[in-house]
Amino acid sequence: MMPSNSTSRGASPQTMPPRAIITILLCLLVATFEGIDLQAAGVVAPQVVPLFHFAVFELKWFLAASTIGLVVGALVGGRVADLWGRKAALMISIALFGIFSVATALAASKLQLIEARFLTGLGLGGALPNLIALTAESAPPHQKRFAVAMMYIGMPLGGGGAGLLSLIGANSSGWQDMFYIGGIAPLLLLPLLAWLLRESSEFRTVHAAKSSLGIGQGLWANGRAVQSLLLWTSFFAALLVLYLLLNWLPSLLVARGLTRVDASWIQVAFNLVGAVGVVLSGALLARSPRVTVLVFFGGTILGLVLLATVPAQFGVELLAGSLVGAAVLGCQSMLYAIAPGLYPTALRGTGVGAAVSAGRLGSVAGPLVAGIVLQTGGSASSVLTYLLPVSAVGLITSMILVRKISYQDPKLVPGD
């Protein structure tokens, strides 16, 4: 069972068992490659548009295709994890997103690009619930949330790497390299995972005892119904903001008057400073979940206001992009760290997968909303201001969620 807030204070990575450290590092490495793949389409969009003659309404489908696949992949991957094991589900997912990332680089038409991104998304979606479950279930009870936050650092590091790769291949002929690297690297990692990664001991115990729960019982019983709905809404809001920015931020900055190179550097800062936000959210979450919610959702709102209103100059946009990156990625890390503790081991993959999938609906909506606003004549600044009420909803539902967990009777705290 994941601990209550009081038991998580004082968590320290130095006391992690060696096997847990190996698992977390392997999951972090996978998360890094996933971060590259997740942001690849958005980073190369300014190069791909003229090559494939994308109209705005077509571009939004290219950017949203992988996130649509993520919705399905998270549900299926989480359920497969509870039936066959976290390790098997993770390796299948890695193979899927690796193969179809390479297929994206080989695409010869707009339709092939969109299809390959959708299939890549299936694998990406299936991997994430298993990365979370393996990390949480490998760590000691008082360090589970911290461990998940540390694993999640790989996502913004991979996203920052995607931005750097874009800068290295700044001419239009180099866009395929992003997808080759994002696909071949995880495929090469599979033998190492097969050798070093161990199945979750919690899963093995439950599976050996043939312990199982119906999906409804796992997601809704023992006070989990309201918590699940609050978690899903928070995920939806946070991921809508995050994925709109991951996919559209370079294009929005170019539309505001920055060069493509400057926009790419801001995307790099968004991710790398975001990694710092992930570390801070993990440390702060162990001490005060409510303060963590206020700081990171509030920071997201402030960062969006600045990003939309400051002069279109590289220095000030870099600072605004860094702030919103740290805040929004900290929000996402916080929710990933909370989610595993709301569900029992027998349905942890399904529960986390359902939450991730609910959030992925937001990640689908984000790129589509941006495309629709721009297609109907809206400005880049107006796209960013539309995200303010969404972030406010995430702030409210997350605050209710952590307050509800804090005051819950220990016997009713979700888990085993």
**pLDDT tens, the chain, 416 aa long:** 444 444 444 444 457 788 889 999 999 999 999 888 887 887 788 788 888 888 867 777 887 788 788 889 988 888 888 888 889 999 999 999 999 999 999 998 989 999 999 999 999 989 988 999 899 888 887 788 888 888 988 888 887 787 777 776 544 457 888 899 889 999 999 999 999 998 877 777 776 555 555 555 556 666 678 888 999 999 999 989 987 887 778 778 888 788 878 887 888 888 889 889 998 998 898 788 899 999 999 999 998 998 888 887 888 889 988 999 999 999 989 998 888 888 877 778 878 888 888 887 887 787 677 778 877 777 777 888 889 999 999 999 999 998 877 544 333 333 44
Q: Which two tokens stand for residue 322?
A: 């860094």
Distance CA(81)–CA(248), nearest Å, equals: 32
Q: Delimit the domains of the chain by residue range.
A: 10-412
Output the CA–CA distances (angstroms, integers) from residue 125 to 128, 212, 227, 265, in the order listed: 6, 23, 22, 27
Q: Residue 223: what pLDDT?
A: 67
pTM comes to: 0.77
* Contact criterion met (CB below 8 Å) for 393 and 100: no
Q: Residue 8: what pLDDT?
A: 40
Q: Residue 268: what pLDDT?
A: 82
Q: Residue 263: what pLDDT?
A: 83
What is the domain class of 10-412 according to CATH? mainly alpha
Q: Which two tokens stand for residue 204?
A: 């093995």
Q: Count Cα atoms within 13 angstroms, Cβ side, for 122.
A: 11
Distance CA(45)–CA(292), nearest Å, equals: 34
Q: Residue 10: what pLDDT?
A: 40
What residue type is 324 in one-letter code?
Answer: V
49-55 LR contacts (CB < 8 Å, sep 24+) = 50/172, 51/172, 51/175, 52/109, 52/110, 52/113, 53/110, 54/110
Closest alpha carbon to 125 in 43, 185, 68, 40? 68
How far is C-alpha 125 from the geometric centre of its chain's CA atoms? 9
Q: Residue 395: what pLDDT?
A: 95
Distance CA(164)–CA(271), nearest Å, equals: 11
